[in-house]
Structure 1
Amino acid sequence: MPRGAFSAIGAAAALSIALTSCSSSPGPATSTGAAGAAGGNLVIGVTTDPDTLFPWKATQFQAVNVLTNIYGTLTEFDKDLNVVPGLAESWKPSEDGKTLTLTLRKGVTFGDGSAFDSKDVKTSLEKIMAEATAAVARASLSSVKSVEAPDAHTVVLNLTTPDAALPANLATVNMAMLSSDDTEEKLNTTPNGTGPFTMKKRVASQSITLARNDKYWGGEKPKLGGVEFRVIPDESSIVSAMQSGNVQLAVFNDPLVAQTAQGGAITITKTPQLSYHALQLNATHGDLKDLNVRLAIQCAVDRKQVLDTAALGEGEVTGPITSPVFKSDPQQRPCPTRDVAKAADYLGKAGKASGVTIKTIVSQGEYATSVNEAQNLKAQLAEAKINLDLEVLESGAFVDKWVAGDFDAAVALNGGRPDPDGMYGRYFTSTGNLNKVAGYSSPELDKLFAEGKATTDQAERKAIYAKVSAELENNAAWIWLFTSYTYTGTTAQVKGFVPMANGSLQYLRTTTLS
């Protein structure tokens, strides 16, 4: 990935994620200038069935992509990752930054026809904040002391401290606004949101079909009559289905498949991603409790070799923070290049000169390069007497173990975000609700993340998150590997779809079939 690939995104995001963001525009730009007829049903090929339909607990990419099109959030990202209005048409902080007042849109309804108002927002935010809910974005609301709903279209967030990351954090589907009358049990079978599409039908392990929401609040109604996410377990088989006309859109992770698909009936659009590939280490488990063992692993890995082997060199070696505004320098880490001798020294300091074995989980099916990454890492680390004992799991089983922190190490592709707080605050702080997944925190990180939220000065925030990156690298919390691309394949009938750097499929709302 060229270093300047995100320059336009970075410039826009720098202006959009501060607490002072406010707007009264109608929402994300939806006009693409594309020609196409209204109606029609788009078929999207996916490799895995969503593991949940409850947005507050969705971590799997396939689940997030489906739910993004069913549910609405208070804020949204536009195609350049600017924070723009969603269900909140505007928001305004108080002078001291400790109150954020949101004005909600009028006339918004849920898929079941019930009205959306401030009661739903208050109930949703309070449930996300409740530990018993086990919402994966709970830590993103750690600054919220209380939520008030003074009238049907106003919500006031009372904060313990100014929170520059809050508007951006509200834009993820893990912060979806739910009806105050709905329950997790009900929504896992019958989703009910304010998004551009509604749930129509699900055939387990085969397909999920959405229908256009004719009451969608957006300035431009969805043009597609419906969208089917069809499960086809292999990316090459998805290409065949596109060539035969049975599938019109797919997002590929495997660059070799994308190269094979390009041409003829299929057009491939290559989009750099904020998501990152990593070997995640759980520093609370076994030998990984020892910093020297973790540093040995860090020094024994040639990240470029993993990138070249698993993804044909299609990407860029990365540090922890991939957001262009706050991007980490991968050279600023212990062993920026592979050093097996230094890895041996670290193992010796740990009293493990004869080697260690690390049980490592790998997802098969969620993204295409996972097993190749794991095998290359295993081969490299074996030369340093570090044995990765690989357990390859189907996507749902992997996610279950991952969320529970039930692993020593995990080969993973994690979604990135424009703001580092939303990206890592829930992982690497002692009170972060995904800290058992991260397996690492420290008083210094707690202090730095608190400082990063408390100021809206962009230069100050950049300096703070550079320190966060250094803390994570110097302690080998995880082994960050590389960022890569997604390859969006479309047939000639598809117009108006906009791929995004955060991997979102939200622009299905602007897509047409000619």
Structure 2
Amino acid sequence: MLDLLKSSVAALALMAGGAAAQDAITLGMVLEPPNLDPTGGAAAAIDEVVYANLFEGLTRFGPDGSILPALASSWDVEEDGRVYVFHLRDGVTFHDGAEFTAEDVVFTLDRARAEDSTNAQKVLFEGIESVEAVDPLTVRVTLTAPDGNFPFKMAWGDAVMVDEASVADLATKPVGTGPFKFDEWAQGDRVELSAFDGYWGEKPALKRATFRFISDPTAAFAAMMAGDIDAFPNFPTLETLPQLQADPRFKVIVGTTEGETILAMNNAQPPLDDVRIRQAIAHAINRQDIIDGAMFGYGTPIGSHFAPHHPDYVDQTAKSAHDPEAAKALLEEAGADQVKLRLALPPTPYARRGGEIVAAQLREVGIETEITNMEWAQWLESVFKGGDFDLTVISHTEPLDIDIYARPDYYFHYAKPEFVALMDELQAATDPEQRSALYVKAQEMIADDYVNAFLFQLARAGVANAKIEGLWENAPTQANDLTGVRWVE
């Protein structure tokens, strides 16, 4: 009888544990964010944890890439796109109980555009002339020039709203207005969130969310198979997807991203300041071999810095088609004998695997590389911030970010005056047809200048428990939005 009682208690405990699991989720991520402040860091991993979960902006990206209201329920456009009046939602509070008002918008946008701002996308705010709190729920933003793209800019993770009282600790103790609040960051292992009871909008079905950081692809696969991870939205072991797809416990989710994967080149220093050398490198690259070898066939070849799913995309791949003989001729014309370049590789599997293939392809045309495998923080500091590199393989996952080529201090150092002028014209344009034509010109210019070797558009290939619904299929921005995620039977 005692054994039967023990068995019954154990069974009830298991049932209770199973029920509890239906309002919690554990997501896997390859990279751990260097901090948790999306307004003060460039790493995509920050937004992958906090975007739409912890922090919200005036607007936000929907799962289809559309721009939706967020903390602003609506906005008016005045003076032909030079003035935006945002109408804020009533009753919004930060996780620490502070009220969200127009003054927080003024503080956030002024902080982001300040001279000493550390915002990684400071360019988003450069067109702002003034920000005024008309009343507690109304904000008037005046721009220096018309900008039809301003609601899009306000949807970025770098433009989320913050409170002056808690801003000093955002990196390690983030406080936002989102449906989840921060609980714990066990560095090197996980970040834990829980549902925010005071959330202004529709409450999420999930009560708890854990983001676990698993950099080793083999360990990621093992964790998925063991059930330690419920979903891995950007799964690192693509070669195992057929096996997981055949397992009824899982579903494989394949979509697109905004991630242009490039072999970035330092245009500011020799020999890469010579367009012939850059063109030779571009012709030495066999994109399909890299997609097959590093991504197991997942990825779309690109010839410029633009997503193929965007309506203004123009295929530029023919300009840098794989042609080793053309590459050798260009090197000879440039008088470049015995070229040796440093190739810095961040820890992502696409970079490590792709970098080895790139090195082999360059060797075939006479270019030797010295590979340095870097951890993420080291890559951000040395390559992205310090510009101390020759070549690197990286995915730029920010949406519609071709404007980075106009930034003079950006790590690959292009900023051709004609391109800067083109971006200035695009900034002021509000007519959709004019903007489309300018995007086409921009793609063509950087392709013709061989600024970088453009490899492929990163696929979003994820794995999830078959009972989970609501995860994004595509990635219009770098996010793991949990607001619509739920377990189903």
TM value normalised by structure 2:
0.90
In 2 relative to 1, CA 406–216 (structure 1 residues): closer, same or farther, beyond 3 Å? farther
1:106 and 2:90 equivalent?
A: yes
Comparing 338-347 and 103-112, the one that deviates more: 338-347
Q: Which amino acid aligns with 1:396?
A: A
- Native 8 Å contact 1:70 1:192 kept in 2: yes
Q: Which of 253, 256, 271 is 1:287 aligned to?
A: 271
Residue equivalent to 2:40: 57
Does the 8 Å CA contact 1:326/1:462 hold for their aligned counterparts? Answer: yes
Q: Structure 1: where are the runs of 5+ without partners? A: 1-35
The corresponding residue for 2:3 is none
Q: Matches of residues 7-406 of structure 1 in structure 2 within 5 Å?
A: 40-68=23-51, 69-184=53-168, 186-218=169-201, 220-251=202-233, 252-262=235-245, 263-318=247-302, 319-322=304-307, 324-331=310-317, 333=319, 335=320, 337-352=321-336, 354-364=337-347, 367-404=348-385, 405-406=387-388
Following TM superposition, by how much is the alpha carbon of 1:64 offset from its aligned partner in structure 2, in angstroms?
1.5
Contact in 2 for aligned 1:37/1:512 (Cα 8 Å): no
CA distance in 2, matches of 1:467, 1:332: 16
Q: Which moved more, 1:376-385 or 1:496-505?
A: 496-505
Say whether the 8 Å CA contact 2:256–2:475 is kept in structure 1: yes
Q: Point out the structure with max Rg over C-alpha.
A: 2
Give, in angstroms, the shift of residue 325 of structure 1: 1.8
The one-letter amino acid of 1:415's match is: T
Tell me the amino acid that sits aligned with residue 205 of structure 2. Answer: K
1:166-215 per-position Cα deviation (integer Å, ceiling 9, x unaligned): 1111111111110022334x111210001111110111101110011122
User: Would you say the 8 A contact 2:345–2:352 is kept in 1?
Assistant: yes
Relative to 1, partners in 2 of residues 1:438 and 1:472: Cα closer, same or farther, differing over 3 Å? same
Work out the CA distance in 2 between the residues paired with 1:39 and 1:313: 34
Does the CA contact (< 8 Å) of 2:218 and 2:237 recur in 1? no
Cα offset, 1:280, TM superposition: 0.6
Would you say the 8 A contact 1:254–1:369 is kept in 2?
A: no
Question: Could you tell me how far apart the structure 1 residues matched to 2:314 and 2:405 are?
Answer: 16
The 8 Å contact of residues 35 and 172 in structure 2, kept in 1 or not, is answered as no
The alpha-carbon distance between structure 1 residues 492 and 341, as it changes in their structure 2 partners (threshold 3 A), is closer
**In 2, distance between residues paired with 1:241 and 1:303?**
31
Answer whether contact 1:283 1:289 (CA < 8 A) is retained.
yes
Give secondary structure in 2 for the equivalent of 1:288: coil
CA separation in 2, counterparts of 1:376 and 1:456?
Answer: 43
Distance 2:70 2:293 in 1: 41
Match of 1:424 in 2: 402
Change in 2 beyond 3 A, CA 1:341/1:276 = same
SS of match in other structure, 1:91: strand
Q: 1:107 to 1:402 in 2, by over 3 A?
A: farther
Q: Retained in 2: the 8 A contact 1:164–1:456?
A: yes
Do the aligned partners of 1:119 and 1:149 also contact (CA within 8 Å) in 2?
yes
Q: How far apart are the structure 1 equivalents of 2:113 and 2:176?
A: 19
- Matched with 2:16 is none
Measured after TM superposition, the shift of residue 70 of structure 1 is 0.8
Let me know the Cα RMSD of the aligned residues: 1.9
Q: Distance in 1 between matches of 2:315 and 2:382?
A: 31
SS at match of 2:378: helix
Contact 1:56 1:128 survives alignment (8 Å): yes
Distance in 2 (alpha carbons) for counterparts of 1:416 and 1:123: 24
TM-score (norm 1): 0.86
Tell me how far 1:504 sits from its aligned partner.
4.2
After TM superposition, give the deviation of residue 119 of structure 1 in Å: 0.9
Other structure's SS at 1:369 match: helix
What one-letter code is carried by the residue in structure 1 that aligns with 2:274? D
Whether contact under 8 Å (1:58, 1:64) holds in the other structure is no
Question: Cα distance, 1:238 vs. partner?
Answer: 2.5
Which residue identity does 2:79 align to in structure 1? E
Contact 1:213–1:222 under 8 Å retained in 2: no
What percent of counterpart residues are identical? 27
CA displacement at 1:339 relative to structure 2? 1.8
Unaligned runs of 5+ in 2: 1-18
SS of 1:482's partner is strand
Deviation at 1:332, TM superposition (A): 5.3
